[in-house]
Amino acid sequence: MDEKMEIRLVNPTEDGFLQKIDWNKAELEANVRSIVEAYQGLVYTEDTVSDAKNDRAALRKLLNEIEDRRKLVKKKCMEPYEVFENDLKDVTVLIKEQISIIDGQVKEYENGVKEEKKARLQDVYAETIGELAEVLPFERVFETQYLNVSFKESKAATEIQEKIQRVKSDLAAIDALDSKYKLNAKDVYVRTLDMSQAMAENARLIKFEEQMEADRKRKAEEEERRRAEAEARAKEAEERRRQEAEKNAAERAEREKALAEQQAQEERASESGYNAPVPDKTADVQSEEPAEKPAEKEALPEEKKYKATFYAIGTLQQLKDLQEYMKEHNIQFGKAGK
């Protein structure tokens, strides 16, 4: 280096710097040891916590006094250096400013070289991409490291071509799939450029469809089972109604037959001059047997008899009791005339 460009120390000279700081280390160390030894082995209890806090404060005060002194010595030693450092910055800033100017020109040149390299790689892309430009734009095959000086342009061009060819092959393989979901798989591939993810999406959709079909069949079977059960219940109900109707018809025929027989008996009794003891329809009670003939008694003057027509309303038991009463008293009775 030119002597004019050297830093020559005037005061102190290079051999005039402070080589060692002499101080009373032995004396201070002995005093500190004696103070510390006075605290060693002490065990503080709940009753002496306040003493422990005082002892701690005293030791901290001693430490701070020593540290303050050390910092002062350092400051004194550094004061001339700090002045020297600030003065030297006035010189070095001149160099740094010029370095910055030159660096700007170098970067501008390097950026130009990178842009030219990138443009040539774009030409390689354009020659190879074909109809996939919209699916696979340049930015998806380009990597920033291609522009580094250490990365050969031929290698970068080869990688771009290989990426494009791989995408073409993958898309052709997806188009060849025998699957209704190949468009879905292609969408995933175009988004990720990952063939495994595209195939996984195709498999997922096929499995989902199978599950949906299984669910549909299960629901159809359940619906058919419910329909069959409903039909069976309807048939059972219809059969019960039919049996009930037949039973009711038979009972009705039986009642009509009995009524016809009763009416025939009444007609025969009417023709013979005897009224069967049948309760009034209003009471809805039928006499169980005809009134007994008056018992033969000793010859007594026969009282004049009268005929009265009336109806009675009461419980079944009351009407039966009334019938028994008339029987006991030899009162003839029969159905009232219409």
Residue 71: band (very low, low, confident or very high) from pLDDT cuts 50, 70, 90: very high
| Residue 134 backbone phi and psi in degrees, to 5 | -70, -35
Q: Any residues with CB less than 8 A from the CB of 167 and at least 6 apart, and which?
A: 132, 135, 136, 193
pLDDT digits (tens, 9 = 90+) for 252-283: 998 888 888 888 887 776 665 444 454 444 44
Other beta carbons less than 10 A from residue 262's beta carbon: 13
Flag whether the pTM goes above 0.85: no
Structure tokens that stand for 317 in this block: 């038991």
Q: Which pLDDT score is estimated for 276?
A: 46
Structure tokens that stand for 27 in this block: 């004396």
| pLDDT surpasses 80 at 284 | no
Task: Tell me how many helices (H) and strands (E) the chain has.
Answer: 7, 0
298 DSSP assignment:
S
CA distance 232 to 81: 109
pLDDT digits (tens, 9 = 90+) for 76-102: 999 999 999 999 999 999 999 999 999
Where are the domains positioned within the chain? 21-138, 275-288+309-338
CA distance 130 to 134: 10
CA distance 166 to 304: 135
Question: Could you tell me if 167 and 135 are in contact, meaning their C-beta atoms sit under 8 angstroms apart?
Answer: yes
CA distance 289 to 312: 18
Residue 334: band (very low, low, confident or very high) from pLDDT cuts 50, 70, 90: confident
Structure tokens that stand for 134 in this block: 């919209």
Q: Please state whether the peptide bond connecting residue 80 to the residue before it is cis, i.e. omega within 30 degrees of 0.
A: no
Backbone dihedral region for residue 49 (phi beyond 0: left; psi -120 to 50: alpha; all else: beta): alpha
Question: With the C-alpha atoms ordered 29, 30, 35, 39, is the resulting torsion angle positive or negative?
Answer: positive
Rounded to the nearest angstrom, the gap between the alpha carbon of residue 267 and the centroid of all alpha carbons in its chain is 87
Question: Could you tell me if 333 and 326 are in contact, meaning their C-beta atoms sit under 8 angstroms apart?
Answer: yes
